[in-house]
């Protein structure tokens, strides 16, 4: 019987997590599906099974460390040794800081930061004794460049980056064959903008340019199988945000102070009474896409370049070698012509 790749994905019921489930499923993986929303998890399991794989529905809040560890144990027992663990689950609140509550900050931190810590600990418990496995952290440009109205989420992503760097360093120190990498995402068209807790006057939106969750899923799959690279930047907008902040952070502060409020809102007033998923999942199967399909890109040139870097380097090397050889041949031919001309002149 062929060995199936065993993968655990947190936040698997919707958005990027759901798209990532499909990406791994179509390549034959068996998947442990962790999220709170049972409707989305059940639909995700059906999609995995339709692709010919196996999946476990694990209704778990990643803020519960014991439950996450128990879920990992259950996957190991029923699907086999975990090869890849994808930390993806997140929560956010759209709100000015002055209107946030301590409970808001704690909940976003518990899910979006500590959920990654608990997932990593659960994965390491099984991976380290075997000395193999990969942990992928789904990050964001906001892990480097904070924006207004999402302070709790930005801070949590900054914390994930710090945790990831420490974990990677320790694995290297121990000469472990367990790998970890981080994938920094751009704005994505996911359902979260329709269920996120919000105190904004108008409906929330991702800051353009917007990309489809399948772009993120392809990046996660590639990173999981090429984890020696420290980080992957999905889309040029991510690169600009990260390196622009490194070069001119004060300019970025001023720019976002002018544009950051408007760019995160659209399309009429928000309904303050609609359900949100901060503390409880919103019922139903929400799939992977949000409402921004007409504005979202299905291809990222930056991701394509990063995932084809070796081939591009080879092509560049062959081009340089070919050009050098051509120049050498021309120089040799020119020298031969000069020698022939010299002999002719001498004979005359």
Question: What is the tens place of the pLDDT at every residue in 154-204?
Answer: 999 999 999 999 999 999 999 999 999 999 999 999 999 999 999 999 999
3-state secondary structure of 50: helix
Element (H, E) at 178: strand 178-185
Residue 1: what pLDDT? 45
Question: How would you classify the pairing of strands 202-204 and 265-269?
Answer: antiparallel
- Give the CATH H-level superfamily of domain 6-307: NAD(P)-binding Rossmann-like Domain (3.40.50.720)
Write the CB contacts of 273 (distance below 8 Å, at least 6 apart in sequence): none
Q: 5: which DSSP letter?
A: P
Residue 3: what pLDDT? 80
CB-based contact 190:290 (threshold 8 Å): yes
Element (H, E) at 189: none
Residue 323: what pLDDT? 53
Q: How far apart are CA 160 and CA 121, in angstroms?
A: 13
Q: How far apart are CA 54 and CA 45, in angstroms?
A: 8
Residue 103, exposed/middle/buried by CB under 10 A (0-12, 13-18, 19+)?
exposed
233 is catalytic: no
Q: How far apart are CA 160 and CA 173, in angstroms?
A: 20
Residue 33: what pLDDT? 98
CB-based contact 156:63 (threshold 8 Å): no
pTM for the full model? 0.88
Two structure tokens written together for 178 = 């367990």
Residue 321: what pLDDT? 47
Residue 348: what pLDDT? 56
3-state secondary structure of 9: strand
Cα 178 to the center of its chain, rounded Å:
19
3-state secondary structure of 320: helix
User: What are the domain boundaries of the chain?
Assistant: 6-307, 310-348
Residue 331, exposed/middle/buried by CB under 10 A (0-12, 13-18, 19+)?
exposed
Per-position pLDDT tens, the chain of length 348: 458 999 999 999 999 999 999 999 999 999 999 999 999 999 999 999 999 999 999 999 999 999 999 999 999 999 999 999 999 999 999 999 999 999 999 999 999 999 999 999 999 999 999 999 999 999 999 999 999 999 999 999 999 999 999 999 999 999 999 999 999 999 999 999 999 999 999 999 999 999 999 999 999 999 999 999 999 999 999 999 999 999 999 999 999 999 999 999 998 899 999 999 999 999 999 999 999 999 999 987 887 788 776 654 555 455 544 555 555 566 566 665 566 566 655 555
**Which is the catalytic residue, given 116, 153, 232, 233?**
153
């Amino acid at each position: 019987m062929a060995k199936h790749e065993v993968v655990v994905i947190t936040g698997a019921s919707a958005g990027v997590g759901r798209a990532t489930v499909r990406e791994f499923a179509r390549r034959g993986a068996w998947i442990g599906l962790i999220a709170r929303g049972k409707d989305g998890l059940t639909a995700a399991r059906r999609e995995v099974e339709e692709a010919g794989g196996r999946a476990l529905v694990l209704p778990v809040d990643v803020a519960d460390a014991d439950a996450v560890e128990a879920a990992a144990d259950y996957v190991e027992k029923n699907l086999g040794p975990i090869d890849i663990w994808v930390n993806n689950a997140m929560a956010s609140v759209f709100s000015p800081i002055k209107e946030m509550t301590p409970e808001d900050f704690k909940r976003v931190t518990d899910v979006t930061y500590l959920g990654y810590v608990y997932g990593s600990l659960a994965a390491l418990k099984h991976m380290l004794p075997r000395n193999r496995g990969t942990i992928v952290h789904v990050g964001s440009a906001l892990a480097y460049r904070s924006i207004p109205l999402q302070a709790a989420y930005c801070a949590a992503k900054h914390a994930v980056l710090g945790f990831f760097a420490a974990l990677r360093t320790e694995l290297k120190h121990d000469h472990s064959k367990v790998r970890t990498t981080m994938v920094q995402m751009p704005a994505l068209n996911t359902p979260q903008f329709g269920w996120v807790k919000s105190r904004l006057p108008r409906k929330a939106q991702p800051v353009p340019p917007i990309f489809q969750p399948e772009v993120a899923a392809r990046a996660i799959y590639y990173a999981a199988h090429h984890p020696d690279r420290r980080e992957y930047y999905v889309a040029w907008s991510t690169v600009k945000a990260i390196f622009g902040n490194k070069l001119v952070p004060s300019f970025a502060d001023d720019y976002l102070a002018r544009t950051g409020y408007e760019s995160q809102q659209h399309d009429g007033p928000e309904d303050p009474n609609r359900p949100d998923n901060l503390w409880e999942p919103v019922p139903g199967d929400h799939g992977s896409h949000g409402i921004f399909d007409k504005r979202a890109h299905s291809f990222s040139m930056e991701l394509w370049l990063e995932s084809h870097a070796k081939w591009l380097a080879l092509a560049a090397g062959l081009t340089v070698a070919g050009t050098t050889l051509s120049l050498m041949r021309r120089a040799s031919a020119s020298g031969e012509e000069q020698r022939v001309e010299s002999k002719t002149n001498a004979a005359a």
